[in-house]
Structure formats: structure tokens, C-alpha cells
Amino acid sequence: MKRKTEEDVEEEQRRMWNHGGKWLRGPLIGKGSFGSVFLATSKKPRSQVSFFPPIMAVKSAEFSASGSIQKEKEILDKFQGCPYVIQSYGEEVTTNSKGEMVYNMFLEYASGGTLADHIKNSGGPGLDESVVKKYTKFILEGIHHIHECGYVHCDLKPENILLVPSSNGTDFVAKIGDFGLAKRGRQSQCRRLDPSLRGTCVYLAPEAVIDNVQEPPSDIWALGCVVLEMLTGKHPWDTKPDLNGEDILRLIGDKFELPKIPNGISKEGKEFLKGCLVRKPMYRLTAEMLLDHTFLAGLDDKADQNEWKRDSSGFSTIETENLSFSLVCDDWEYSSEEEIFFSDDEDDDGEEVESSGEFTVEKGQERSKSSFATCDGDRALMRTLTQVSTVPAGV
């Protein structure tokens, strides 16, 4: 009896899920504990009334087990139109070959793969600093928008930064994806502790490990880890061989430990990293402050909002020739040693939440007032604070 190959199994899985009303399911490009990710194409890509782009990614799961994906869809809708966050194109319920209901969420397809792929394939000890600056600016713009909307990503890492082709077709825009662990920011004095620890251990901030608190400053710490990894090609705690998840958590929880910033990085780069990798969250720079940091000087204030090539239906035009279907649009593999992951029943339906005035969310609109997510005062003052910082690294 002929043994089934991995490709045969993937093809069987694809066929089991079936197509949608206006789209065709393509190859399996990712699989994890919450479902599967497929490439998908619109049945009428050039239609004036098409709801979908010509090519996209679709996350699918049996409806009874799709709560996490549905929650992610609700959060992504809050960031619709932000050019630094992977866009959602909608949802649809279909049936599989067994007649069971299947939930599908449609996402922008990142043909450039993940930032982790890019770092791994760079062939050197990291990316060129000019490239790091560009990607950092994109990611920061996304983080700033997320925080302004009152959310915390909680799982920023290279695997969750996706590369989408720019308008000239020779470069990529880095966009934040995978909001499966995202949460509302809660910064009232009487806030309850989040019962779950979210994210990947090597990118967790000290306050997350010690106090189980994850707020906007936790994303800034994770950004510092991502920037350090782009510059060195290694994760931030890659100091000793054979470190497991528990060892890394002990390092993060040690008040005297910080990720090592190596030589060979520019002075501005080192200062940028020091502004992110501060142990006490109250002294960490905000996304808005970091956008004015000298490390990012000389870059455009914002990426061109028209970076996407638009076709007649208003979606990004993506070249479909020579597509590599091995590219995974989201990180769907979780390791018990490297990831800390628990489910959470937190309400994200936009209802009013308890607040002391620092952060408020009202039904029908989001309004944030957070000393972590935003900064009062003009940007000139922020530049001064960023460039002339008296906070020692490691505070």
C-alpha cells in the first residue's frame, strides 16, 4: 500500500474544507491548534462588485472551535484602514465535506512571508541597519495605532510581522499580524490582574513575568527585542546554549538581567534599544516618543498611504506568478517550552469598562487617555526627551 506523502495529506485537508460562495480555497500554508490557513482566490477577481481581492489568506476552523479566530476578527475590525496592520476582508461560514459548519476569516496575503523568514534567510548576522530602521518605523506606526485604539498586542515577534509588497514591487512594507492574544488595555488603579499570561516567553516584558501585567509598555519591550533580533540575527536571550523556556523566564524575572546590546550597532541604535529595554515600564519610551527618535531620523514621517497598488476593485494588486505557497502568513506553531498560552474570557465587545480616567472605552467609539499609549505635549518636547534621556538603562 502506497504511503501518503505530506503533500497528499495537505491536499486531502484542503478538499475537506470546501470552497466559499465567491472564492476558491487554495493550498494549505499554515496549521495550528486553532485552525488552518489557506491561500484563497476570488472567483471573479476583476469584478467591479467583488468583496475580495484577487488573492488572500483565509483562516478556517470548525465553527464550534472558532472562538479565538472570531475574537481576532472583531479586534482587526478596529484597525481597518491602518496601512501597518494586516487587513481583514470579512468572514464567511461554509461547510466541510462532513457537513459540519466552518468559520472562515479573510486576511491580506503577505507574499513576502514573515520578518522571521527574512532574518533567517539574510545569510548574515542580521539585517543591514538601514533595513532595520525602515521596518522598525513601519512596526512602530502600527503599534502606535493599536495603542491609540486602546489595545495591547501582547505577542509582538518576528513571526507575527508580515511583509507585504510595496507599490514599486521591489520592496516590502512590514505589517503587524496575528491578534489572537491581543487584549484591551486596562490602566485603572483598581484593575484586576489578567488571569492569563500571553505571548512568547523570549519577548515577554519583566512586568508580564513578575506581576502578570501586560499593557502598552509591554509591547514596547517586545519591539526592542524584535529590533535587537533584526540587528543580530539572534533572539534577545540567546546568551547561553540549551536555554529552555523556564530558564528564559528566570532571566527575564531577574531584576539585574537585561538583553545584551552588542557592539557594531550605531550610537543611535543603542540609545533606541535602551529606550525600549527598560525594566520598569513607567520609564520605557512610548511608541510616539520612539517615532521621533534619532535612530529613525531621515525616514518619511509616514509610509505612503497609497503604497498598495490598487486594482479596479480597490484592493491591493499582487503578482500571482511564481508565488511560493510555503510562505506562512501567521505563526501557528506553539511550543510548550517557548510559549505561555492560556485561554481568556475577557470581554471585547466594546462595552464600557471600569476606568479611573486614565483609560476609557465607550460603546460605539474608542477614546484612549493613557500615559503609556499616548503622550501629551508637542513632538518637539518628545524629541528632546528622546535625545536627552537621563534614565539609565536597566532602571
Q: Give the best-scoring range by mean pLDDT among 9-13, 311-315, 318-322.
A: 9-13
Answer yes or no: are the C-beta atoms of 79 and 145 closer than 8 Å.
yes
Cα 59 from Cα 66, distance rounded (Å): 10
Of 76-80, 233-237, 298-302, least confident by mean pLDDT is: 298-302
What number is the average pLDDT over the span 40-59?
Answer: 81
Query: pLDDT digit string (tens) for 251-267?
Result: 899 888 899 998 889 99
| pLDDT greater than 50 at residue 204 | yes
Strands 360-362 and 183-184: unpaired
pLDDT at 319 over 70: no
Sorted by where each starts, the structural domains of the chain and their CATH numbers stand as 6-107 (3.30.200.20), 115-387 (1.10.510.10)
SS3 1: coil
HSE at residue 172, side-chain half, CA atoms within 13 A, is 20
Residue % of the chain over a pLDDT of 70: 67
> What are the C-alpha distances in Å from 371 to residues 23, 94, 287, 377?
44, 44, 11, 11
Is pLDDT at 220 greater than 70 in this prediction?
yes
148 and 374 Cβ atoms separated by less than 8 Å: yes
What average pLDDT does range 192-216 have in this prediction?
Answer: 84
Does 59 count as an annotated binding residue?
Answer: yes
Digit-coded pLDDT (tens) for 264-305? 899 999 999 999 999 999 999 999 999 999 999 988 654 444
Most confident of 42-46, 238-242, 281-285, 301-305: 281-285
Is the pLDDT reported for residue 147 higher than 90?
A: yes
Q: Is the dihedral of CA 81, 83, 86, 89 positive or negative?
A: positive
User: 15 falls in which pLDDT band (50, 70, 90)?
Assistant: low
What are the cell numbers at 21? 460562495
Out of 155, 178, 330, 331, the active site residue is: 155
Q: What pLDDT, on a 0 to 100 scale, did the predictor assign at position 10?
A: 56
Confidence of residue 352 (pLDDT cuts 50, 70, 90): very low
pLDDT at 106 over 90: yes
| Average confidence (pLDDT) over 136-148 | 97
pLDDT in the model for residue 255 = 82
Annotation says 128 is catalytic: no
More confident residue, 16 or 387: 16
Helix (H) or strand (E) holding 31: strand 23-32
pLDDT, position 384: 37
Judged against a pLDDT cut of 60, whether residue 43 lies above it is answered with yes
Return the C-alpha cell found at 163: 511583509
Q: Which pLDDT band, with edges at 50, 70 and 90, does 159 fall under?
A: very high
DSSP state of 261: -
pLDDT (tens digit per residue) in 321-346: 333 333 333 333 333 333 433 334 44
Burial of 99 (0-12, 13-18, 19+ CB in 10 A): exposed
Q: How does residue 46 score in pLDDT terms, banded at 50, 70 and 90? A: low
Rounded to the nearest 10 degrees, the angle between the axes of helix 216-232 and helix 267-276 is 150
Instruction: Read off the DSSP letter of residue 313.
Output: T
Read off the pLDDT of each residue in 238-263 and give the average, rounded to a whole number: 86
Whole-number Å distance between alpha carbons of 44 and 377: 50
Among 158-167, 347-356, 357-366, the range with the most confident prediction by mean pLDDT is 158-167
Give mean pLDDT, residues 145-168: 93
Region 173-194: mean pLDDT is 75
More confident residue, 375 or 40: 40
Instruction: Give the CB-side neighbour count of residue 151, counting CA atoms within 13 A.
Output: 28
